[in-house]
Amino acid sequence: MPEPLPEHQKTQLIVRSPLSTEGFVSIYFSSPDGRLMSEEEWYNLRQLIELTNKVCVKQQAQARAQSASA
């Protein structure tokens, strides 16, 4: 069960994106006035997650290829 938000923080969003099979990154968004994310903020978040996934998947594939050839 999520913990209750402090009174001064009315909204919170937590997004977790995998970095590997054992780790992930958490991205937090909060707004003291209770507003939702803007369209631009959603777009930037999506771009960040897509970039993170591409980089990590590529690094994992390279690491697997190197260990397989060793």
Q: Is residue 3 part of a domain?
A: no
* Cross-strand bridge partners of residue 42: none
Dihedral sign, CA of 44, 47, 49, 55?
negative
Q: Is residue 5 part of a domain?
A: no
- 1 or 31, which is more confident? 31
- pLDDT at 50 (0 to 100): 84
Has this prediction a pTM greater than 0.85? no
- pLDDT at 40 (0 to 100): 92
- pLDDT at 8 (0 to 100): 56
Q: Is residue 15 part of a domain?
A: yes
Tell me which residue range forms the domain holding 33.
11-69
Q: Is residue 28 part of a domain?
A: yes
Closest to 32 in 3D by CA, of 70, 1, 64, 5: 5
Q: How many domains does the chain have?
A: 1
Pairing mode, if any, of strands 24-31 and 11-18? antiparallel
Q: Is residue 49 part of a domain?
A: yes
Q: pLDDT tens across 5-60, in order?
A: 555 556 677 777 777 777 777 777 877 787 888 899 889 888 888 887 787 777 77
Closest to 17 in 3D by CA, of 29, 8, 9, 25: 25
